[in-house]
Each structure stands twice: as C-alpha cells, then as structure tokens.
Amino acid sequence: MLKSVELLPDKSKDELTRMLKEKWTIRYFDEKVDEFFAKGMIHGTTHLCVGQEPTATGPCSVLRDEDKITSTHRGHGHCIAKGADINLMMAELFGRSTGYCKGKGGSMHIADVEKGNLGANGIVGGGIPLATGAALTSKLKNQGDVILSYFGDGAANEGSFHESLNLASIWGLPVVFICENNQYGMSGSVKEMVNIENIAERASSYGIPGVVVDGNDLIEIMNETHKAVKHAREGGGPVLIEAKTYRWKGHSKSDARKYRTREEEQAWKDKDGIKRFRDLLISEELLTEEEAENLRKQAKQDVEEAVQYAEESPEPGLDTLLEDVYA
C-alpha cells in the first residue's frame, strides 16, 4: 500500500489506519490515567508509556492471534496492542470488579490469556523468563507460536535477561526479545548503566541476531519484528531487537524528572512516532487530514467511554477479599 517505504508484512489501508488509531488510543489511555492519578482518583502506582506507542503497535501487528507476549510494569500499550479491552483495563485501574483482575491487581498485573497476553509484570525483567518458558512450550508441543518478550533497558542488566537469552539460544526457541530502550532506568541514564553503545550488541554473546531500530518509526520496527518473527517461527531461534525510544512522562507518577532537561524532552517529542506515521499515511494518500482527525477523535472518545464504564462499575465486595489468593 505504501509507495515511498518498504512494507514487509502485507498490510491493507484499513490495517494501517487501524494502527494509527490504536497508537492514539494508547496515548489517550495513558494521558487519562495520568490525569486521574494526579486527582487521587486512582490509587497505587502506574508507569506510563506516552511516547513509546510505536514499539507496542508495530511488533504486535505482525503476530497471529495465537502468538503470545509478556509485558512490563510500563505495559498499557502492549496490552492494548495485543487486543485488550480498554473498558476492562480502565476498570482495573479504578479498582472495580469488572477489571481484568477484578480490581485487585491494578496497573502492573493486567493479563488476557485468551488474547495471548501472558501478563504485565511488576518485577524488572520478570517477564523475560516467562516468555522463554512459553516459547519452550510452543516448541515441545509443536504449536507454531512465537512469543514476544517486552522489557526495558534496565532489565537488560538483570540476570533473568542473560539466563533467558542463553537458554533460548541453545534450545533454538521461537521467542523475540524486544528491549524498549527509553534512555532511563528509573532516574539513571542508560549511558551510565551500560558500557556499550547498543544493548543489542549483547546478542552476539549468545549467538543470535541483534538489531537496533528507531523506536519512533513504526514501519521500521514493524518490518524488523516481521523478519524476526518469521525467523523464529521457521525454527531459526531467538532474535534480540533494541528499539531506541523515550518516555515523555516520569518513571512513575511521583517522578519529577529532575535528572533530565526539558530541552531533551522536547527534542524527543519533536520525533513523535504518532505524528510521523500520520503524516506518512496522508502523504501516501491513504488518509485525508479530515479522516486522520476523525480517527484521533474516535480514539479519544473510546477512552472517554472506558472511563465511564469504569466509573459505573461496582467495587469488589469484602466477601471477595480472599478469592483468587493462592498459597
């Protein structure tokens, strides 16, 4: 469909425009969550992925329904891109019984196994071995499924990262590891934490391919993930993809972002992946300005309806306090 750029997965106009709307949905969802936390309407904590939308939408767009993902503490975008119901997500954050975890899990524990989302994870690097285990299951049972494992640059320094890549490599597992390098592990720059230019270079230590992509370029990350998924599904083993991206907000709701300059933040906002993709679709005459604006408005309206659903949903009763608790 696109004339000016190579598009490896077969994507129709409808699919491309759906992806644009999805990215807006992810952004408006997290901006609304940010607003409600500031007002004290949502409790606990949350980690927002505003600015990182392409790394959620691009990779998940090349998966089959039966393929699976593992997510992170900054996982709302991954969940939405893998088909989560934003009504149930918002209800979960509001602590309502209609949420994915019946209002008891909150932001970092959203999972939807039927959609192939094996769950967000509050433990840094916690989802990487889970993805490796799911990939082992797929291989042993000849299921043909590929697993995407999302994690951040900070998790790439955890033992779970190295152990999982090693096992996935020697066993030739169908897993694609996606490092969302958003430049900061909490309040520390990745440049202070890693003594190499690219985290993807570590792939060579395990004898697997390592690729660096522009996390603001949906086409690039989609194409590279498409190749990696095909490689894994055909028995080639794991691939490590590093997406250079940036979180516009703080690490969590209490982060004043004093460790970075507003000039740096603006420079990354100028690379906005949503605007970039929108402008591309318009320039390729797949969308008009008006159609793009209507998509944006519809995404915003969908999020507002999710808020209404959450606000009108009941809170869990005290009689459910010990339900779903395992010992």
For residue 80, give the CATH number of its domain. 3.40.50.970
Q: Are 259 and 184 in contact (CB under 8 A)?
A: yes
**Assigned domain for 322 exists:** no
**Assigned domain for 47 exists:** yes
**Assigned domain for 158 exists:** yes
**Assigned domain for 230 exists:** yes
Q: What is the pLDDT of residue 142?
A: 97
Q: What is the pLDDT of residue 43?
A: 87
Q: What is the pLDDT of residue 211?
A: 98
Count of the separate structural domains present in the chain? 1
Q: Are 310 and 90 in contact (CB under 8 A)?
A: yes
Entry pTM: 0.96
**Assigned domain for 321 exists:** no
**Assigned domain for 326 exists:** no
Q: Can you name the residues that pair with 242 across neighbouring β-strands?
A: 179, 212
**Structural domain range at position 196:** 13-311
**Assigned domain for 316 exists:** no
Alpha-carbon distance 239 to 176, whole Å?
5
Helix and strand numbers, DSSP H then E, in the chain:
11, 7
Q: What is the pLDDT of residue 121?
A: 93
Rounded to the nearest 5 degrees, what angle is found at the Cα of 204, between the Cα atoms of 199 and 210?
A: 55
- Low-confidence spans in the chain with pLDDT less than 50: none
Rounded to the nearest 5 degrees, what angle is found at the Cα of 86, between the Cα atoms of 16 and 322?
A: 150
The 10 Å Cβ neighbour count of residue 253 is 17
**Assigned domain for 37 exists:** yes
